[in-house]
Each structure stands twice: as C-alpha cells, then as structure tokens.
Amino acid sequence: MGIEITHTEDSITISQKRYIELILQREGLTKANAVAMPLDPNVALEPNPDGNAGDCSNSYVRLLGELQFLANATRPDIAYAVNRLVLYTTNPSMLHTTALKRVLRYLSGPRTYGITYSSNPQYPALHGYTYAAYANTDNLKSTSRYVFLAEGGAVIWRSKKQSTIALSSTEAEYVALSEAAHEAC
C-alpha cells in the first residue's frame, strides 16, 4: 500500500514518502521547485472554456486517483485541492493539468510529512474542527471541511461540496458541523 510506519518510544507516524517519490519520478518532477500551497489562490478553476476538448487521456485521471489515495491515507493537507480538481475529470483543460502538477510540486517539498499519533497527555482523547467555505463561485454550494484528531493525529478528515445551497455562512457552517457530527458517530 506504500504506507510507511515509523515508531518511536512515544509516537507512531504514518507517511508515504516513497510513494510520493515514485509519482514525482514518473512525472519528471523529482527536482521541481516546491510551492507552499497545493492550489494557487490566484487561479480560478472553471470548467474547460468554450467546451474545447481537453486532455482526454487517462493520465489526468490516473494521477488524480494516486493523489486521492495519498489524501485519504496520510496527507489530509491535499484533500481540498484534490477534491476540487476531481470536478474537472470529464474534460480537463491545460489549466487543470497545471493545477494538478502544482499539487505535485507542493508534495515535492514536504515529502516526509505524515500523521503522527503521540501518547502525550496534552492531547484530548478525541476532538475535531470544522470549516465551511460559503458559496463557491462555480455553483454557489458551500464546501465543508472537517478533521477529527485522536492522540494528536488525524483519524477522520473530509473536504466535500455540500449538497444544498446555504443561504448564509452560518447555515453553511451548521451543515458542516452536522456532517462532521454524523461522521464521528
């Protein structure tokens, strides 16, 4: 599965450094300059303009699947970016492919990042955080994000588009909290 486990006296870390390096090597990005964020906040991702035929090869979908595996297994920091790019799988343009390569450039920096679980008593048994990005520009649906931590490490995380259109940021946050509570139970 490509998951590496590092055990110390008081912690366990799961990561996928070798898996990331294999992807970077195959894509020719082993020496790519790292970026600080998986998605460029100044680039608006939109459907392929004018319905032009985009890159219909399976390389976009294959790479997206590999990044989804990383996001689900050990790298929740790329979950939002990957889920955002999934929206354009049927007809990706060069803009989407460039954004996907940016996620790889982000991963080229912190390759050893993972999730660490520690027996440190400062961490509560289970706690969580939620956030809702109100009214995305593409269809006015908000995006819910949440993470639950145990022993200092993430155990459940998700970034997904809400199924309904919220009428306020408060309503969007309420939906995010409801989804997170349902997931935690």
Does residue 102 sit in the same domain as residue 30?
yes
> What is the spatial distance between Cα 157 and Cα 70, in angstroms, rounded to a whole number?
13
Which residues have CB under 8 Å from 169's CB, separation 6+?
132, 134
Does residue 55 sit in the same domain as residue 95?
yes
> What is the spatial distance between Cα 30 and Cα 135, in angstroms, rounded to a whole number?
37
Does residue 144 sit in the same domain as residue 70?
no
Mean pLDDT of 72-99: 89
Does residue 42 sit in the same domain as residue 75?
yes
Domain hosting residue 135, numbered range: 120-184
Does residue 99 sit in the same domain as residue 127?
no
Domain stops at, among 57, 84, 114? 114
Does residue 131 sit in the same domain as residue 107?
no
Does residue 150 sit in the same domain as residue 177?
yes
Domain stops at, among 114, 134, 158? 114
Mean pLDDT of 43-52: 75
pTM for this one? 0.79
144-165: pLDDT as tens digits: 778 888 888 898 887 777 777 7
> What is the spatial distance between Cα 80 and Cα 141, in angstroms, rounded to a whole number?
15
Predicted local distance difference test score (pLDDT) of residue 112: 83
Provide the domain count of the chain.
2
